[in-house]
Structures are given as structure tokens and as C-alpha cells.
Chains A and B, each alone.
Chain A
Amino acid sequence: DQQVKQNSPSLSVQEGRISILNCDYTNSMFDYFLWYKKYPAEGPTFLISISSIKDKNEDGRFTVFLNKSAKHLSLHIVPSQPGDSAVYFCAASGKTSYDKVIFGPGTSLSVIP
């Protein structure tokens, strides 16, 4: 059973609008959450992260929101740009250095010019 779920395999958004990518997790021991972005024919690259002591982290056009009680996080991209078209992986881990990072199945975002 997947511990990190991304229930939308794909998402299309108009350029300039907000993209919201959702992620749910089942393990209450997860303490740290990350988003990676993957272009075709390239490896994933780290995008943004959030610790469980926060409920929001912002980096330019990217904001991640964490709702621990709901075991839910979301990535907001505002405004969306065509170059944001990629697969986005949500990932989660416990707090110790021995905890593995668990990745979700990914959401493919298409930003339409």
C-alpha cells in the first residue's frame, strides 16, 4: 500500500493561472516533506521542502502547504509558466538520518500557453 499518494496523475493549467498539486500520506511518523520536479529524459531535481514544524514554505513562485491533521500537503505554483510543465513527485520521510525518503507516483503538469 502506497504511503504517499498523488491522486491526480495529470493536470492541465492555463499559463498565468495557479497550479495546485496535491499529495496525501498515511504514515503519521513522516516529519519532512519534499517536492521534486522531473523533465523528460532528465533525472528529478529538488524543488522545495517543508518540515512538520511549519505549515507553509515559500520559494519564489512555489509554495508548499502542510496540513498535518489531514495528512495532506499541496504545492502551489503562481503564476504557472510553460516551463513548469513536468512531472512533480511528492516525497516524505521520518526525522532521523536512517529514515528513507518515500516518493509518490507523480503528477504530470501541463501548462498551456
Chain B
Amino acid sequence: DVKVTQSSRYLVKRTGEKVFLECVQDMDHENMFWYRQDPGLGLRLIYFSYDVKMKEKGDIPEGYSVSREKKERFSLILESASTNQTSMYLCASSPHLGPSYEQYFGPGTRLTVT
């Protein structure tokens, strides 16, 4: 069974802290994605990676960075957390790039920055 796991379901951090969100997939997928979900805005793509050590900016990369050292793991880093980064963060993976390949999502991490 396909599985994408995220390291934390809930996280509370202070403004200015460095935050790491971890995502692991067990499907040997090439591609991994980080989204944030906000009310009224849907899912917005932050970054994606199509191979180990490769990354591409999504629609809202500002304030974020990513790391993919191993195929199964994709990390989202908030260098200096701010209150406007309070959100639900969703990780996803897919076997190939392209719209006809469904993305498999993790359960999400609810991050609150105070």
C-alpha cells in the first residue's frame, strides 16, 4: 500500500525559529512535492523535486528551502519562521511528472508560528 508519512501532525514554533518538516515516501517515486493549504486558497505548490538533489521552485517559494539527499525523503525548511507561515503543509509524491500521474499525499503537518 502506498504511503507518504510526515514527521509531525502538529507543530508550534516561535517567530524566527528554523523549522524542519520531514516527508518520507515508500513507493520509490521520482517526484516529491511540498504544498501549503490555506482556507480559500486551496493547495499552493512551494517546491518540488524530480530527482535526488534536484529541486524546482513552485508558485510560493519565498521564505522556504528544501533538501532531497535521498530518494525517499524530502525536507521543507523554514529558515526563519514567520506568523504568515502558519498553515497546513502537505507533502506528496508521484511516480512521474505530468498531470496524468496522480499525486499521493501525506496526512499533513499543521504548523503554528507564534
Contact = CB atoms under 8 A, between A and B. Distances in A.
B40 A31 contact: no
Given A34-B99, A94-B99, A43 B106 contact: yes
Contact of A93 (B41, B58, B59, B99): B99
A90 to B, nearest CB: 9
Contacts of B96: 97
A98 B97 contact: yes
Contact of B99 (A31, A41, A105): A31
Interface size class of B (residues with CB under 8 A): 20 to 34
B99 A99 contact: yes
B103 A46 contact: yes
B45 interface: yes
B107 A43 contact: yes
B92 A43 contact: yes
Contact of A41 (B39, B42, B59, B107): B107
B3 to A, nearest CB: 11
A43 B4 contact: yes
A100 B34 CA distance: 12
Interface of A: 2, 4, 6, 9, 31-32, 34, 41-46, 49, 51, 89, 92-101, 103-106
